[in-house]
Amino acid sequence: MKRWMIILIASVVLLGLSWLVPHSLFSVGVETPTLTPASTIIATSTIQAETTATQITQLTSLPTKAGLSFTAAIYKDETNAFEVDYPADWTLVPNNQIGSRASTAQLFSPGSTAEKLLDGGTRMAITVYQWDPKGDLAAYAAHRKSAWDSGGSNVISETSGELAGGRKQMSFTVQGPDKLQSFFLVTTVGENYLEIAGDGNLAVIEEIARTMRPLNFKQ
């Protein structure tokens, strides 16, 4: 499926002149990022990414946590000090550095890949961006929405609230020009921005995104 490649290229071009972080997933170079039209994640094969020194832990299988619909593994980003639960039978593509201002990891349900989304399947990206102004979630979200609009996408739902540890988040369901829908959750990690996004089963994507918490967080 070439749609992800197109979205990635479009992302790097669309966003304007203030930062260099593309759409929902990657930052390329040091110019201006572009936000993808509506959906998606990015194919590792469409970019030349260098694996970062970011340490990631994948736990093969933990008991299903209260409230989760799946048996969880844990994605840990030691550099940015956060972790996320995801289904233990999914594939995790480790964190890759994209340019100088973004890094991303990817998750795929069984049988799906960056290029191919099976019927009923899901693919996701967990991306950290550097962007100015730092630590201003409202400004970041407004920039994102402007980029989606410029790309012909529509925000069809928007919510806000808090994640574990009191971290503020904003969530969006976005419909692209192709009528496909994607879910995006944006929040802050230190002075940077974290975006958890995906297409496919939006309910599962949202469930995974909302498990985001500080590293080794204890409730």
Q: How much is the pLDDT for 188?
A: 97
Q: How much is the pLDDT for 219?
A: 67
Contacts of 142 (CB under 8 A, 6+ apart): none
Q: How much is the pLDDT for 66?
A: 64
Amino acid at 39: S
Place of tokens 């201002």: 101
* Percentages (nearest 5) of helix, strand, coil residues in the chain: 20, 35, 50
Whole-angstrom distance, CA of residue 24 vs CA of residue 126: 9
Question: Per residue of the chain (219 residues), what is the pLDDT tens digit?
Answer: 444 434 433 343 333 323 223 333 322 222 333 333 333 333 333 333 333 333 333 443 444 556 899 999 999 999 999 999 999 999 999 989 988 899 999 999 999 999 999 999 999 999 999 999 999 999 999 999 999 999 999 999 999 999 999 999 999 999 999 999 999 999 999 999 999 999 999 999 999 999 999 998 876
What is the residue extent of each domain of the chain? 3-192
Q: What per-residue string of b and e applies to 47-79 under the rule 16 or more CB within 10 Å gives b?
A: bebeebebebeeeeeeeeeeebebebbbbbbeb
Q: How much is the pLDDT for 167?
A: 95
Whole-angstrom distance, CA of residue 94 vs CA of residue 68: 23
